[in-house]
Amino acid sequence: MNILNTKPIANCNNAETLLPQFVDGELSARDAWQLEKHLANCRDCSLKVEQLKLTIDLLHDTARLDTNDNFMAKLHARLDDIDASASDTRTNTPRPSLREIITGYTRVLHVPGVPIGVAIGAVAVLMVALIPGLKTTPATQTTAKPDSHISTVVEAQLAQTAADPLGDAAADQLVVHPDSAVQDSYNP
């Protein structure tokens, strides 16, 4: 009768224990054959298997959901805050803010109708404000890692200003070391 000489699945409890692997196709060929034999003769168990398979199909077909449209903007705003407040323990990379600042300066210089003298004055003020960073700002130097994307110290200075727009670090340094900064930077 039992040609493969395996333990026959005598009852529904035995069948039940094999179901998890059976529905995932992980049952050995021999066990699968035994179970199928039982299922062919047991309406209860075959109904259970059928319903289990349908349930799994339903789970696989559930609707996929996604976040609100403003998710990314909200997240980056939070990350900006984190960067701004964690400059002691983490290197800042306020690149978007940096870009904004540069764009802001550029816009000032390109407004039509602004007298050329004002533009030149703005350039001069900007240079004086930025150049002290070259030699006199150890805080800025430690902020910019060698492998970071901030390639020049002037950019690092800008980044520092961007991270701390109200603190106006560049202006503070101008007060402390005005002469040495100008001399160093204009040294031919």
Partner 1 sequence: MVAMGNTMHADFALVQRAKAQDRAAFNEIVLRYKSKVYNYIYRQVESAADAEDLTQETFVRAYLSINSFQSRASLNTWLFRIATNLCIDQGRKEKRTRSFLAPRPKEEDNSIEQDVPDSSFDPQELALNTELGVKLEAALRALPEKLRTVILLYDIEGLSYEEISAILDCPLGTIKSRIFNARSAMRDKLAPYLQSSV
The region of 52-60, 102-110, 120-128, 130-138 touching partner 1 under the rule CB under 8 A is: 52-60
12 binds, among Zn ion, partner 1, none (CB under 5 to 8 A by kind): Zn ion
Least distance to Zn ion, CB of residue 74, Å = 54
- Would you count residue 73 as binding partner 1 (CB under 8 A)? no
Report d(CA 59, CA 62) in Å as an integer.
5
* Residues 38, 27: Cα–Cα separation, whole Å: 15
Residue 173 burial (10 A CB sphere; 0-12, 13-18, 19+)? buried
- Interface residue with partner 1, options 4, 12, 40, 75 (CB under 8 A): 75
> Does 148 engage in binding with partner 1 (CB under 8 A)?
yes
Residues sharing a CB contact under 8 Å with residue 123, sequence separation 6 or more, in sequence order = 109
Does position 109 bind Zn ion by CB under 5 A?
no
Strand positions, DSSP E, the chain: none
What 3-state DSSP class applies to 144?
coil
User: In sequence order, which ranges of the chain are alpha helices (DSSP H)?
Assistant: 12-23, 29-41, 43-60, 71-85, 95-110, 116-130, 133-136, 138-143, 153-163, 169-176, 178-186
Is the Cβ–Cβ distance between 113 and 162 less than 8 Å? no
Continuous segment of H or E residues that includes residue 30: helix 29-41
Which entry of Zn ion, partner 1, none binds 99, CB below 5 to 8 A by partner kind?
none
Q: What is the x/- site pattern for partner 1, positions 76-115, by CB under 8 A? A: x-xx--x-------xxxx-xx-------------------
CB of 59 to Zn ion, least distance (A): 24
Q: Is 59 in the site for partner 1 (CB under 8 A)?
A: yes
Q: Is 122 in the site for Zn ion (CB under 5 A)?
A: no
Least separation in angstroms between CB 9 and Zn ion: 8
Question: What is the rounded distance in angstroms from the CA atom of residue 127 to the CA atom of residue 110?
Answer: 17
Q: Pick the closer one to partner 1 by CB: 30 or 76.
A: 76
Which residues of this chain interact with partner 1, rule CB under 8 A? 19-20, 23, 43, 46-48, 50-52, 54-56, 58-60, 62-68, 71-72, 74-76, 78-79, 82, 90-93, 95-96, 145, 147-149
